[in-house]
Amino acid sequence: MITQTADWFDERLGIAKWTRKSLNKIFPDHWSFMLGEIAMYSFVILLFTGVFLTFFFVPSSKDVIYNGSYAPLRGHSVSEAFASTLDLSFSVRAGLVMRQMHHWAANVFVAAIVVHVCRIFFTGAFRKPREINWLIGTGLLVLAIVNGFLGYSLPDDLISGTGIRIAFSIVLSVPVVGSYIAFFLFGGNFPGNAIIPRFYTLHILVIPGLIIGLLTAHLAIMWHQKHTQFKGKGKSNRNVVGVAMWPAYAFQAGGFFFLTAAVIAALGGLVQINPIWLYGQYVPYKVSYAVQPDWYMGWLDGAMRLMPSWEIQAFGHMIPTVFFPAVLLPGITFTVLGLWPFIEKKITKDDLEHNILDNPRDVPWRTALGVGVLTFYVVLFFASSTDVLANSYSLSLNFVLWGFRILVFVVPPIAAIVAFKVSAEASEVPSTGKRKRAVAIMRSDVGEFYTEDIEPRSPAHEESIEELPEEIHYHLLKANGRELVTSSGGSIGQSDSLRLDSDTDAGSRQIPGVQIVDHGFFGRKGSTGGRSKRNIIGRKRR
Amino acid sequence: MTIAAESKTIEHGGASHNGEPTGMYKWLTSTDHKVIGKSYMYTSLVFLLIAGSMAMIIRAQLMSPNGHVVSQQMYNELFTIHGSIMLYLFAGPFAFGGFANFILPLQIGAPDMAFPRLNALSYWLYLTGGTTMLLGFFTAGGAAAFGWVAYAPLSSYTNAPGPGPDLWIIAIALTGFSGIFTAVNLVTTAFYLRAPGLTMFRMPIFTWSMVVTGMLILIAFPILTAAMIMLYCDRHLGTHFFTVSGGGSPVMWQNLFWFFGHPEVYILALPYFGMVSEIVPVFSRKPVFGYKGLVFATLAIAALSTGVWAHHMYTTGTVLLPFFSALSLLIAVPTGIKVFTWIGTMWGGNISFKTPMLFVIGFIVTFVMGGMTGVMLASPPIDFAVHDTYFVVAHFHQVLAGTAIFAGFAGFYYWYPKLTGRMLRESLGKLQFWMAFIAFNLTFIPQYLAGLRGMPRRVPVYLVQDHVTFLNQLSSVGAFVTFLSFVVWLVNLWVSWKKPIAAGDNPWDGHTLEWGTSSPPPHHNFTSLPPIRSQRPVWDANHPEHADHLNHELPKKEAIRR
Amino acid sequence: MRTVRAGVRSFSELKLTRKLGVVLIGALALSSCNPTFGAYRGATTQGKDIFSLYQGFWYTAIGVAIVTFGALLFVVIKFRRKNDAIPVQRHSNVPIEVIYTVIPAVIVAVLFFFTVKVENRVTAVSAAPNLRVKITAFQWGWRFTYPNGASVVSQGANYPQMVLPVGETTTVTLVSQDVVHGFYIPEFNFSRYALPGFTNYFDLNPTKVGTFIGRCSALCGLYHSEMLFSVRVVTPTQFQTWLSQQKAATA
C-alpha cells in the first residue's frame, strides 16, 4: 500500500528519486549534534502555544477596570494587555499552562541556541564551507533574544515594563539619531499607547516569520552541505558516516521532539514562571527591587549596572553612559560573533574546507578564547543580580558592585588560561574522552604492578554505524584507481548515501576505490531495485 | 642501598601508562593517591599559615591588657576560626588526608587506594569545605564567633545571627564527609590490599595508627555531622533541640559535640604517633620495641577515647564524675606505654639526630609535659580550678599543636625525600627545630601560669591587676618566633626546589616498604617488591644478617643474646 | 653490649628504686617546703582540698617526669650515633613492658582514689547550710540574691560584689538566664557553669577574710571578658550588718 501511494505521488510530482535519496541520507551520530534540535523543537512548541495565546491576548494599552478571577487586583485600573494576560492565567482553560509553557519554551529556545552555538564554536564547525550558516545562526540568535524580550514585555507588567523603559533609554542613548528612533518606535514619548500593539505585531508576525525563513535556510544549507562529523574510523573529509534518515534518524529526531516537548510541558506545568499578578500593572513611577530581565538579557543588565557613570562628549554630541554597555557592547558582541569564521581564517590562515570537526582539546587556543569570552558574559550575567546578592548576604551594594567590576576583568583571563592548560594537557593524554575501560591491576611475581583490560575491545562498540536489516551490497570494481563518473558528474548533492562496514577504512579495502553502498530500506524496493543508472555511485565527492 | 631489582619484562596487556596527564590537568583530575595526598598536604599547609596568622593577631592583641589590635567581635571570630581551621582543616587533613594517602598504600605494597575516585572526591570536598569556612569573613555579620565548640545557646540564631555561622556549619559538614570517605578508603585499603606476606601484625605502626584513626573517624564524625544538622535546624527551621524554651537541652549539644570532640583529638594525635613510631626505629637502627604492645595501646587509646567525652563538661554539674575521671585518668596508661615504647626503641640503639629525629625528641618532651597537665585536668576537682582558663589552652596546645607541629614536621622531613625525590637542608631543618622548640615552649608554659592565676580563655582584654601581663608578653614573643620558624621551613622548601639534592630510594635506611621503591614512586608504586617475612621487609633485604625473620626462627633467648 | 645488658637487667630495679626514691623525696619536700606550683592555696575548705590534691598530682608528675625525661636524656646521650654499627635488634622485653604498663596503671589508680575522695567533698551540698545565695548569670553580668530579698546586680561597669560570711557554709544556687556562663573564682580554686534551664548547687566554705575577684569562664558573647564580679568574705557579724543594709538598699 505504501508503494502504491508513493507511486501515485511520483507519477504526479516525480519525487521518487529525491525521496529515496533523502530517506537514505546519512547523519553522523553524536549527542552534541542534537543541541540545535532542542532549539528547533522548542521553537515549534513556541509556535503552537503562541497561537493558542493569540486567541486570548489583547494587545492594547487601553485602561480597563479588571474584574476577573484574581481577587486582589479586582477593581484596579490596568491595561487590556495586562487584564487579558490575567484572564489567560486564571480564567481560560489551560491558559496558565500554555502561558508558562510558552515562556519556558522561550527560555529553553535561547538556551539551546547558545549551547548549540558553543558546540559549533568549540568544534570549529563554522569553518568553510559553513560560514553562511554561521551568519544565519547569529541572526537567529539575535532574533530569538529580541523576540523573547518582546514576548515577555507584552503582558505590560511592572518588571517587563521597567525593561521597556530601559530599552527606551538605550535607544535614546544612540548618538544623533537616538531620540528620533526612540520616538519613532514608541509613536511618541514614553510610554505612550503604541508600544504594546507594535511589540505584538513584531512578536507574532515579523520576527517569527524571519525566524522561520532563516531557520529553513539554516537547515537547507546544512542538508545540502551535509552535517560535520568527528574524526574516527572510516570517516574522512570526503564522506559521511552515520545513520540513515529512515528509519533511524527520523525516529531519533521525532522522539527527541517529544522528549523536548515533554520537558517543556513539565516545566510549564510544574514550575511557575512570570507570575505577573504578583508584580502588578506597569506604572512608570514604581520601580521595584529584584527587577531583572529574563536570563538571556542578563548580561546586558549586568553590563549596565557595572558601567561607571561616565558621559563622554564626542564630536559635539554627548554620549550617555548607557550607550556603551547597552549599544556598543552588544553591537561588538554580535558583530564579532557573526564575523568570527572570517576572523579565525585571518588568524589561522586556514582556507581549506573542513568537514571533520575539531576535538576542542586539540585546539587549545580557540577553546581558551571561547571559555574566556563565555566567562566574561557569565560574570556579567551574575552582575545583573547585584541588589539581590547584597540583600541576601547582608553585604553593602557598593561592595558587591566593586567586587563584580574586579571579577569581570580578573576571572575571564584566568578561566581562559586554565582552559588552555587543561585542553593542551588533555590532548596529550590518549585516553581522554574515550570510554573508560575497566582494568585490573595485576601484580607480577616480582611485585611489579601492571594493568590488564577486563573488558575486551569489541569493534562494534567503536563505531557509530547502524547496521540496517536486509542490506544490499554493491561492489563496484574500479580499475587503476580511476574514478567512476556518476550520471551527474559527481558534484555535491548526488547520491551521497555511502555506508561503510565497520572494519573498512575509506579506500582501505583490497581493491582501492571500492566502496560498499547500502541503499537502505527504500533501495530494495525501489522501482529499479536499486540498480538503475540513476543511482550508480562512484567515489563520493562532497 | 636500594632494593631496585630488575623486573622481568612483563607483557603489558591493555592500556599502557605512558600517556599520563601532567600539569594542571593532572592536579584537577587525578585519582592517584600520591597526587591527592600531595594536594591535601599543600592545602593543609596553606590553612596552617592562615590560621597561624590569625594566632599572631590574637597574640598581638594580648600583649597588653587593653589591646586594640582588633575589635572584640573580630577577636572572637579570629579565635573561633583559628581553632576550627587548625583542627578541621590542618591537623587532620595534613596527617590523615596527606600522609596517610601518600604513604599507607606504599607501606602495604598496594598500587593505590581501594577507592581512588572516592579519594579524589574527599579531597575536593575538603577544599570546598575549607574555602566555605573562610568565606564567613566576607559576610556582613562576620564569621562564626562562638568558639570552635559552638556551645548552645550561644550558637542559636538569636545569639549568633547572620550567615557566617551557617557557612561554618556547612564547612564542617563538608569536611566531615571528606574525612569519613577517606576513613572508609583507608580502612578498606589496609584490610584488603596488603601485599602477600604482610599480615596484620606485620603492618607498620603508621599503618596501624591510620587504620585505628579511620575507625575512630567512623565512630565520631557522623555524630558531629548530626549535631551540626540539628544546630542548623534549630537556627533556621524552628526546631528546639538545644533551646530550653522549646523543651530542648543546651547540655545535649555539649554531650553530642564532645562525644565527637574527644575522639577527634585522638583522631588528630594517633596519625602523628604513628609517624613517630616510624621515625624512631629508623633513626635508632632498631626495630620498634614492643610492637604488639604499641598496637594494643593504640587500640586501647581509641577505645577509651570514646568513653571520656564528658571530661570537657565536669563544670556543668551534669556529669557522673567518677566514671569519666576514671577513664580519663586511665587513658594516660596506653599513652604512657607509647612513650616508654619509643624510649625503649631508642634504648640500645645507634641514634642519629638528623632533623626528623630532633623533631621527634622535641615532640616527646612537649607531649609528655602536656600529657601530665592532661592527667591533672582529668581530675574533676583540679578541673574546677582551671577549667576554661589558659591552663587548658596551654595543655591542649602542648599536646595537639606539639604533636601536629613537632611530630608533623618530623614526618614531613622524614618523608619529603620520598614524596619529591629531593632532600631538605639539614642546617635549615635544625635551625627550624631549635627555633620552634624553644619558642613553642616559651609560648605555652607561661600560659599555664596565667591560667592558674585566673586568666580565663577567649578573652580579648584583661586587667592590669590580674598580674598576667608579663606572662602574656612572653607567650606572644614565643608565638611570633614560632611563626618565624615556619618561615625558615618555607625557605628550606624553596632552597630544596631551586637547588635540589637527589634523595635516592632510601636516604634514611628506612625499614618499611615505601623505602623499597623509587623517590618519588612510579605509577602504581612498585616495579618490584622485596619478600615480606617480617615487619621490616626493606630492612631485611638490605641487612640480611640482621633480618627480623631470622630472629624469629631462633628461640627468644638465643635471639637476644646474638 | 654487656654493659647494656647489665643495665637492662637492673634497669627495672632501677626504675623501681627511682620511684620509691621520688616518693621519699616528695614526702620530705612536703614536710619542708610547700610549693604552690602556680596555683592558689584556696580561700575555702573546698579550695584548700583541691589545692592539696593538685600538689599531690604535681609531685606525681615530677616523679614521672624525672623517670621519663631522665630515661630520654640518658638514651639521647648514651646511644647517640658514633659509628655505623648496627645495634642488637631487640624487639621486646616483656618484663619491662609489663612494668611500664602496670606501674602507670597503679599510679593512675592512686590518683583516682584521691580524686574521688576530694571530689565527693568538694561537690557535697550541705542539707542545712548557714546561708543560701541564688546567683543568676546573664549577658553580661551577675545577680546575687540573698534569702531576705537583698540582691546585688551588675550595673554597667560596676562589678557586683557578693558578700559571704567566713567559716560558714553557703549553698549557692546557680542558673543562667540566657546562654552558658561560667561562675569562676580563681582564689577559691572553683568554677561551675551557669546553665539555662538547669540549676547547679554547690557549697562554699570560706576560710579567710578578704576580697577575691571573680570572672566568667565560659564564652558567652561579645562582653564575656567584662563579666567580672568579686567576693568579699567578712566575719559573720559584719555579714549580718551588710545583709540588712543591702536589703534596704535593694528595696
CATH numbers and ranges of domains, chain C: 2-123 (1.10.287.90), 131-250 (2.60.40.420)
Determine, for residues B524 and A451 on separate chains, whether the beta-carbon distance falls below 8 Å.
Answer: yes
| Chain C meets chain A (3+ C-beta pairs below 8 A) | no
For B380-409, the pLDDT digits (tens) are 999 999 999 999 999 999 999 999 999 999
Cβ–Cβ contact C191 with B under 8 A = yes
Determine, for residues B289 and C92 on separate chains, whether the beta-carbon distance falls below 8 Å.
Answer: yes
Q: For residue A197, say if its preceding peptide bond is cis, omega within 30 degrees of 0.
A: no
Distance of CA B513 to the CA centre of its chain: 22
Cβ–Cβ contact B9 with A under 8 A = no
Residues 334-373 of B with CB under 8 A from A: none
Angstrom distance (rounded) from CA C176 to CA C199: 8
Question: Nearest Cβ partner of A441 from B140, B163, B524?
Answer: B524
For B72-89, the pLDDT digits (tens) are 999 999 999 999 999 999
Strand C229-234 relative to strand C161-165, pairing: parallel
- Give the pLDDT confidence score for residue B15 in this predicted structure: 28
Distance of CA B536 to the CA centre of its chain: 24
For C108-124, the pLDDT digits (tens) are 999 999 999 999 999 99
Determine, for residues A430 and B19 on separate chains, whether the beta-carbon distance falls below 8 Å.
Answer: yes
Beta strands in chain C (DSSP E): 131-138, 141-145, 151-153, 161-165, 170-176, 181-185, 190-194, 200-204, 210-216, 229-234
Residue C5 has pLDDT above 50, yes or no: no
Cβ–Cβ contact C102 with B under 8 A = no
For B442-480, the pLDDT digits (tens) are 999 999 999 999 999 999 999 998 899 999 999 999 999
Task: Print burial letters for A475-510: b (CB count within 10 Å at least 16), e (below 16).
Answer: eeeeeeeeeeebeeebeeebbbbbbbeeeeebbebe
Grid cell locating C74: 640518658
Torsion over CA: B119, B121, B122, B124 (sign) = positive
Q: What is the mean pLDDT of residues C94-112?
A: 94
- Give the pLDDT confidence score for residue B121 in this predicted structure: 97
Query: DSSP 3-state assignment of B45?
Result: helix
Residues 85-114 of B with CB under 8 A from A: 109, 111-112
Residue B237 has pLDDT above 90, yes or no: yes
> Do residues A245 and A27 make contact, with C-beta atoms less than 8 angstroms apart?
yes
Question: Nearest Cβ partner of B23 from A421, A431, A451?
Answer: A421
Cβ–Cβ contact B76 with C under 8 A = yes
pLDDT mean values, one per 10 residues, chain A (542 residues): 88 89 88 95 97 96 94 94 96 96 98 97 95 97 97 95 94 92 94 94 97 97 92 84 88 95 96 94 88 95 94 86 94 97 94 92 95 97 94 87 96 96 88 76 86 70 44 36 37 35 35 40 39 36 36
Question: Nearest Cβ partner of A446 from B21, B139, B528?
Answer: B528
Residues 349-388 of B with CB under 8 A from C: 349-353, 361, 364-365, 368-369, 372-373, 375-376, 379-382, 384-388
- Give the pLDDT confidence score for residue A236 in this predicted structure: 83
Cα A312-A313-A319 angle, rounded to 5 deg: 60
Cβ–Cβ contact C202 with B under 8 A = yes
- Give the pLDDT confidence score for residue A483 in this predicted structure: 40
Specify the higher pLDDT residue, B123 or C158.
B123
Determine, for residues B347 and C79 on separate chains, whether the beta-carbon distance falls below 8 Å.
Answer: yes
> Do residues A525 and A487 make contact, with C-beta atoms less than 8 angstroms apart?
no
Cβ–Cβ contact B531 with A under 8 A = no
Query: DSSP 3-state assignment of A272?
Result: coil
Assigned CATH for A33-303+312-350: 1.20.810.10
The CATH homologous superfamily of the domain defined by B35-561: Cytochrome c oxidase-like, subunit I domain (1.20.210.10)
Q: Which residue of B has its CA nearest to A393?
A: B139
Phi, psi of A380 (to 5 degrees): -60, -40
Q: What is the mean pLDDT of residues B359-365?
A: 96
For B180-228, the pLDDT digits (tens) are 999 999 999 999 999 999 999 999 999 999 999 999 999 999 999 999 9
Angstrom distance (rounded) from CA A308 to CA A315: 21
Angstrom distance (rounded) from CA A52 to CA B288: 84
> Do residues B144 and B136 make contact, with C-beta atoms less than 8 angstroms apart?
yes
* Site from C75, C76, C140, C228 to mutate, B interface, most B CB atoms within 10 angstroms: C75
> Do residues C176 and C218 make contact, with C-beta atoms less than 8 angstroms apart?
no
- Give the pLDDT confidence score for residue A370 in this predicted structure: 97
Question: Nearest Cβ partner of B10 from A396, A439, A444?
Answer: A444
> Do residues C184 and B456 make contact, with C-beta atoms less than 8 angstroms apart?
yes
First-to-last C-alpha distance (Å) of chain A: 35
Q: How many residues does chain C have?
A: 251
Determine, for residues A446 and B15 on separate chains, whether the beta-carbon distance falls below 8 Å.
Answer: no
| pLDDT, chain B, mean | 91
Grid cell locating B147: 568558639
| pLDDT, chain C, mean | 88
Chains with 3+ CB–CB pairs under 8 A to C are: B
- Give the pLDDT confidence score for residue A3 in this predicted structure: 87
Residue B280 has pLDDT above 70, yes or no: yes
Q: Which residue of B has its CA nearest to A453?
A: B14
Q: CA nearest B144: which of B155, B130, B131?
A: B155
Query: DSSP 3-state assignment of A492?
Result: coil
Where exactly does CATH 1.20.810.10 map onto chain A?
A: 33-303+312-350
pLDDT band at C23 (very low <50, low <70, confident <90, very high): low
- Give the pLDDT confidence score for residue C30 in this predicted structure: 59
Q: Which residues of B touch C182 (CB under 8 A)?
A: 315, 387-388, 456
On the 0-12 / 13-18 / 19+ scale of CB atoms within 10 A, B141 is middle
Determine, for residues B154 and C196 on separate chains, whether the beta-carbon distance falls below 8 Å.
Answer: no
Beta strands in B264-363 (DSSP E): none
Q: How far is C82 from chain B (nearest CA, A)?
A: 8
Determine, for residues B527 and A447 on separate chains, whether the beta-carbon distance falls below 8 Å.
Answer: yes
Count the alpha carbons within 13 Å of B546 in the hemisphere toward its beta carbon.
Answer: 16
Instruction: Give ipTM to 2 decimals.
Output: 0.88
DSSP β-bridge partners for residue C200: C174
Residue B343 has pLDDT above 90, yes or no: yes
- Give the pLDDT confidence score for residue A234 in this predicted structure: 80
